[in-house]
Structures are given as C-alpha cells and as structure tokens.
Chain A
Amino acid sequence: MLPAIVLITLALAPLGLLARTGPRPLVGWALALLPALSFALLLFQLPQVTGTTQIREVIPWVPTMGVELSFALDGLSLLFALVITGIGTLIIGYAGHYMHDDPGLGRFLLYLILFMGAMLGLVLAGNVLTMFIFWELTSVTSYLLIGYKHDYPGARRGALQSLVITAGGGLALLLGLLILGEGARHAGVAPNQIYNFDAIIAAGAEIKAGPFYTPALLLILVGAFTKSAQFPFHFWLPGAMQAPTPASAFLHSATMVKAGVYLLARLAPGLGDTPLWHAALVLVGGFTFAFGALVATRKDDIKALLAYTTLSMLGGLIMLIGLGGKYAAEAVAVNILAHALYKSALFMIAGIIDHEAGSRDLRHLGGLRRMMPATAFFIALALLSQMGIPIFFGFVGKELLIEAALESLLAAPWRYAALAAIVIAAVGYIIAAWRLFKHAFLGTSSPTLAQRHHVADPRGMLVSPAIPALLSILVPLALLPWASQLLAPAASVVYGKPISFDLALWHGFNTALMVSSGAILLGILLARFERPLAALPPHLPAWADGADLLDRLLAGVDRIGGLIMGTLQTGQLRRYMLYNTITLLLITGVPFVLYVLPGLSFITPDPQLRIYEAFAAALIPIAVVAAIRAESRLSAIISVGVVGAMVSLFFILFSAPDLALTQLLIEVLSTVFLLLVFSILPARFANLSSPATRMRDAILSGMVGLLVAGLVLATATTTIFEPLAPYYLENSLAKGKGQNVVNVILVDFRGFDTMGEVTVLLTALLGIYGLLRMRREKQ
C-alpha cells in the first residue's frame, strides 16, 4: 500500500495539466482529492503504528547489493506523511484559486504533485538509497517550482542557487550514506541489509565505534543542513521566495525544508549521543534558531520575513534533536505539527494579501482589517500560535521546547546556550509577528493601497489557510488527546524507545512557564520600541551575503572553464597528440616508475632465442629512423608500413599466424588509406616545426616508447595474475569446438567484445561518412 501511494502520486502528476481547461478553482479542488485520499488512507494506518513498530514493504531492485525500493511506515514517517498530504490538499485547492488567471497553472500543478510524490517517497522510504533518490527528486522539483516564472531573472537566480546548494548537499549526502553503509558492513550488518534504516540504527553502537562514523556523519550533516537551510547555507531559502506562493507555502515551509530534520530525527537513535553529534546539531541549530529570528524582525517583505522565521524554526528543531532526551523527542514531534499548521496558514494568507492588496511589502500596506476582516482574524490566530501565546498550539510546542532544554542530559553550558537561543528566538518571533500584523492590518492604509478600488476577503481562497489557522487554536483546546495519540509514536521513533505522553495545556507553575512568560513580556516590550530597532543596520555586510558569494563562485567557475577550453581545444591535431602523450606519461608513467619499475625482473635471455631473431629485432629501429627522417609524406608512409611488416615478421617467427595476418592486413590497409588521403594533401611537408618543438616531441615520444616497453616487459614477467592462456587452451576444443584458440576466443568466449568492436567499426565509418559528406556539401 505504501509504494502504491508514492508511485501513484508520481504517476498521476500529469493530471495537473488538466487544470488548463475548465473552471480553475473547481479543477484545483478536484485534483486536491488525490492527496486527500492518501491522507485518509494513511490515517487508517494510525492504530497499527504504535511505539516504534514498522510496516515494511519491499520491491527488490538489485537484491545482491541490498539495493531495493523499500518503504516503511512508522510513527515519524506517518506524522510527516499526514502533514504532507494534509497541507498538500489545502495547497492544491488554494493554487486553483490563487493562479486562476495564470496560463501555466497546469504545469505548476504537475510540478507540485510530482514534488508531493517525491516528498512522500522520501519520508516513507525504508532504506537509505530509496530515500536518497526521492531526496534528489525533491531538489529537482523545487528547482522547477522556484524557477516557475522563468522570465524573471530573480526567479532564475533563486532557482539556480537553490539547486546548486541542495544538489551539492545531496552529493555530500550520497557520499555520507555510502560511507555509512560501509560502516554498517564493518560493524557486521548482513551485506544486503547495510542500507536499511532499522539495520543501521540497530547496529548504531558498533558504527559509532567504527572509523567510518565521523566522515559519514559530517557528510550527512552537510546534506541535511543544506536541505534545511541551516546557517552557512541558509541564503537559498529567502531566494526561493521567488516561487509562486502556493509553492512557498508547501515546499519552503511545511515539507521540503523539513527533510533534513526528518533525516536527522530518523538517524538520531542510531547515530546520536556522541560529542560530535551534540556539538554540531546544538551549535548550528541553535545559532540558526536565534539568527533567523533576529533577521526576520528586520524584513519588510512578508514572504522574506516568513522565510527567516521558517529557517529559524528548523534550526530550533535540529537543536532539539541535538539535545536528545525524552522531552526533546516530544518537542520535535509537537513543533513539527505546530509549525506546519501556522506557517502554511501564514504563507497562504501572505499570498492572499499579495493577490488582493497587490504588494507584499509592509511599507505599502496598512489598515487591511477594515477591508479584509476575515483574513485579519485568521492571520491573528496563526500569528498568536507562532508567538507561543498560552492557549495556542505554538505555546504547547514552546513549553516542551523549554523543558527539553532544561531537562536535557547534556552538560550545563550546552543547556544554557540552548535556553538563550530559545529566548532570543521567542522574542524575535513576537516582534516579527507584531510588526507584520501592525503594518499590514492596523493603522491607516498606505497611499498606494488606497487607490486599489476593490480589496476584500477573497471567497474561496480563504478556505485553505482558515483550516490550519483554526486547528492551531482547536487542537490545544479540544483535540489534545487525539493529537498526543498521533505524536507519541513519532516521538518514540525519535527517542528510540516507545514513550507515551498526553499533551496538556496546563503543566502547572514550573520554570518552563516562567521562562516562556518572561520571553513574551520581553517581546511585547521590545515590540513597543520598534523604531530604534529599525535604526540598526539592515543587512549583513556585503561579503557575508551568501547569495553574492555563490554568484561570484559560479562566475569564477565559468571563467576557468573558458580558460581551459581555450588552451586545450586549439583545433590542431598536433596539440591533441601532445596532450594525450603528456597525460599518458603522467597517469601511467609515474605510477609505473614508482611501483612497477623497482620490482621489474629483467628476464634472462630465453635459451631458444635464435641469433637471427635477435638480429631481426635490431632491424626495426632502422625502419623507425627511416620514418623519422623522411622528408616527404610518401617515404614516411612507406617506412611506417615497413615497421608494421617487421612486427608481423616477429609474429611469424614465433609462429602466431593469426596475429601476423591481422597485423599485416591492417598495416597494408592503413598504408593504402594513408596514400588515398595524402594524395589529396600537398606532397611535401609544408613547414616543419621549429627544432625546439621537434626536440621536445622527440623526447616525449622516446619516453612513451620506454614506458610501453617497460609495460610489456612487466606484463610478461608478472606473477600477480595467473595467465589466462591455460583455461582457453584446454577449453578451446571442448566448449569452443575449434582448435584455433585465437578465433574461438574472438568469436565464442569473448563474442561480446567482438560485437563491441564491430559496432565501433560501424560507428567510425558513420563518422567518416558524415565528415566527408559535410566537406562535399561545403565545396
């Protein structure tokens, strides 16, 4: 059933194209049925998924290497899947309204549904490689969605940057996962199980002890931090706000950016509890948590503000996973749900404001409460939940957040650092939320807003944000028991051991309540004196802005590429030969001299060697000298032909007729071809290159000659590999039904190679045919 959900969603993505025809909103909601159905299906699985039990379904792909499309459902993946499909349903419906006048809606929905399938695949994956495939697919679809309005340069830049960062992280992740697999193999996991999540987590202790742990973890962290836009790599998320709002609401708030959090949460029980793990997660997560909140207070564009609060919340989640412990696991589960609810609502309402009021910039908005009362009500709900005001779901999340920081088992400084980050973030959220609400909805409407004649609550579009906003208040009030039944399995997966808890609004007076109310008071105070805050320098110093850095990096790469291209591709055959020889000398020559040469045993002259064989060998250099000193093309061709004949003479002397025949045939035929070609070229060598170049070429070719001689000698005297000849000799007659071993090998044992060779011949012919045909047309 699991693979069905993922693969059907992916397969039905083209249905999105239907949105081109018919009434857009209606088609939107019709398409939304698909995720709604998956939501319902997944919800039924809830009873089976208690504690850390798992439903597993496997489609074998490469069984021997343990590579298979395996899907598993447990508490954590169920929570994520429900968030994805639930919010997905709302988003697709919302998109139908939001983009009803946009011709490309079909294409947009195609990407969106494709993304949803990929995201579902990611969270439902049972083995690391399946997860990675969908991980990359989400990066690609996110690139397509961000770059949806491809005629805007800003959108293209944002899309490119997000792709470079997330795909780059994906590479690091792949490497990390493979090393992790090796670590699992090293730790004794069965070879075809090394990539399964549960096997890795089970063998966690041994892996952590093994040598592969640190590199694997670092690379995986890079993958997770780039995906979840953590501090050094955070700048692509604000850039991704170029995407249409439905995409921002879905990808860049609720689902895709949480993939990094999901991965770390899933690996926590296995790979967590090591100093490296705690340090990295708490430090990076905590810093992004505080940093994101502070920067959010400075932003005037609503979507940028929301983007920074999102990446800050992600930082908080990662910090929680770093803190570890029972409360942290609970906090992670609760906050994932809480954040998904209020942030998607905020993004959708931001879309409504942009759609109705024509701008997202707080400076151009104001007094919308009179024109859009319903929207004002719902955005108030969502903002209050974000600020963590008591009766809201956000408050429950923040309570657990603070308890996790207090009760974590880490050393004191870590806990206080985490607590400080939480307080800063809480204050930041309050200021940002207050600024958003005040400038957009309170006060008088700005001059630009005044001219817009028709600004009112949009009918259908408001439905989608309303549901999560209402849930942010209803869940803490009425649905807590049901919610805790949903969140308990998720938390137990993160914690590693089954835990059950029942959420409650009121935990009595404890330090957590003190801290959170203190933070709220501080926030309100600071929000009052908002003007001095505005005086602070708005942005980071230029050099620290990640986006510019990346642009300069990409431009640099282009320049270097052009440079290399220029020097290498000069169009002269001589230069290509030169580069080939130099590469050959470096790549084979150097290791040969270092490793093989010392061990080379010069074979003692073989007793049967006749004097005439030795003397014949001495003749070949004469022909070579003749070829070098030839001053006309024809003499050069003749001498080269003679060298070939002498070599085939040797094959005859050592009675290898097949080889002699083939060698000589090729030799004469190439002489004839050269004659045909050269009869077109001017007879004399037009201009011999300068003595210096000729000396250089002489030296180079001399060295290559020595290298090849050495290689032949090495292969003749090596004892590392046992010779193949005996096998072929004895089986030639039995299996191959022929005494002529050479041909039996060519045609029977290694028939496939000959097949390849003949195809190469044909391709070469087609190449020549094409080239000459082009020349004929030109003349």
Chain B
Amino acid sequence: MNLFSIVMGILLSILVISLGLTMIRLLIGPSIPDRAMAFDTIMLHVVGIGSITAALTDAVMLIDAVIVVAVLGFLGTVALARYIEEGGN
C-alpha cells in the first residue's frame, strides 16, 4: 500500500463523506428544486468517485463510464428542471 494509493483513498473517503452531506439535503430539501440540486450534485460526486477509482485501480475503461455518467447527470437535471417548472410541484 504505497503512499499514493493511501492518499487517494483518503481523498475518496472525503468525497464519499461529502456525498453523504448531499444525501441529507436530498432528504430534508424543503422544495423540489432543492432535491433536484441534490440529484445534480450527487451525479457530480459519482463522476468524481469514478475518476478517482479509475486512477486508483488504473482501469482506463472506467473513464468511458464516467463520460456517460456526466452526460446523464446533465440530461437528468435539465429534464427535472423543465418538468418542475411546467408540471408544478
């Protein structure tokens, strides 16, 4: 377990903790747009965690997955935003 992977591990844990915080916002978010924001942030976290795991396990394939995750995050958020505005809460 060389120093690099330990540090990266720590960074990964911090990211997961911040993911936890976002989840709390998802839980309590008073209004729906709050939850939508939490959803968007969570997708960003998934991208972050994916990239760091790719670095740690040196799996180039994960990067492709991360690309699509980013796209989906955006699509999901935009669709949510649109239908929040249109459908009423």
- Chain A positions within 8 Å of B, measured between CB atoms, are 610-612, 615-616, 618-619, 622-623, 625-626, 629, 632, 634-635, 638-639, 641-642, 645-646, 648-649, 652-653, 655, 657, 660-661, 664-665, 667-668, 671-672, 675-676, 678-679, 683
Contacts and interface: CB of A to CB of B under 8 A. Distances in A.
Nearest to A618: B20
14 contacts: A612-B15, A619-B19, A619-B20, A619-B23, A634-B35, A634-B87, A638-B26, A645-B43, A652-B49, A668-B75, A671-B76, A675-B79, A675-B80, A676-B83
B64 A642 contact: no
A678 B87 contact: yes
Nearest to B9: A610
A622 B26 CA distance: 9
B49 to A, nearest CB: 6
Given A645-B42, A683-B87, A653 B26 contact: no
B2 interface: no
Interface string B1-38: 00000000100110111011001101101001001101
Contact of B39 (A641, A649, A683): A641
Contacts of B29: 635
Contacts of B15: 612
B24 A622 contact: yes
Contact of A655 (B17, B59, B72): B59
Contacts, number: 127
B75 A623 contact: no
Contacts of A648: 46, 69
B57 A655 contact: yes
In the complex, the 8 A-B pairs of residues with the closest C-beta atoms, listed nearest first:
A657-B65, A679-B87, A675-B83, A612-B13, A612-B16, A668-B72, A622-B23, A652-B50
Nearest to B50: A652
Nearest to A633: B87
A626 B13 CA distance: 23
Contact of B13 (A611, A655, A661): A611
Given A668-B76, A679-B83, A616 B16 contact: yes
Contacts of A664: 68-69, 72
Interface in B30-89: 32, 35-36, 38-39, 42-43, 46, 49-50, 53-54, 57, 59, 61-62, 64-66, 68-69, 72, 75-76, 79-80, 83-84, 86-89
A626 B76 contact: no
A653 B35 contact: no
Given A612-B9, A619-B19, A642 B26 contact: yes
Contact of B79 (A619, A632, A657, A672): A672
Nearest to B28: A626
Nearest to B76: A668
A665 B32 contact: no
B62 A642 contact: no
Contacts of A661: 64-65, 68
Interface of B: 9, 12-13, 15-17, 19-20, 23-24, 26-27, 29, 32, 35-36, 38-39, 42-43, 46, 49-50, 53-54, 57, 59, 61-62, 64-66, 68-69, 72, 75-76, 79-80, 83-84, 86-89
Contacts of B42: 642, 645-646
Given A623-B26, A652-B46, A616 B76 contact: no
A679 B81 CA distance: 12
Given A638-B32, A642-B26, A671 B86 contact: no
Most-contacted residue by chain B among A610, A638, A679 (CB, 10 A): A638
B12 A632 contact: no
Nearest to B72: A668
A611 B39 CA distance: 24
Contacts of A612: 9, 12-13, 15-16
A638 B75 contact: no
Contacts of B83: 634, 675-676, 678-679
A672 B76 contact: yes
Contacts of B64: 657, 661
B78 to A, nearest CB: 10
Given A639-B26, A668-B72, A652 B62 contact: yes
Contacts of B19: 616, 619
B59 to A, nearest CB: 5
A653 to B, nearest CB: 6
B65 to A, nearest CB: 4
Contacts of B54: 655
A649 B23 CA distance: 14
A640 to B, nearest CB: 10
Contact of A635 (B12, B17, B35): B35
A310 to B, nearest CB: 76
Contact of A634 (B13, B38, B89): B89
Contacts of B88: 683
A14 B9 CA distance: 81
Contact of B89 (A610, A676, A683): A683
Nearest to B78: A672
A638 B36 contact: yes
Contacts of B16: 612, 615-616, 619
A175 B39 CA distance: 59
Given A612-B16, A638-B36, A668-B75, A655 B62 contact: yes
B79 to A, nearest CB: 5
Given A638-B35, A645-B43, 20 more contacts: A612-B9, A616-B16, A619-B16, A619-B20, A622-B27, A623-B26, A626-B26, A638-B38, A642-B42, A649-B46, A652-B50, A652-B53, A652-B65, A652-B66, A655-B57, A655-B62, A664-B68, A665-B72, A668-B75, A683-B89
Contacts of A678: 83, 87
A679 B69 CA distance: 25
Contacts of A645: 39, 42-43, 46
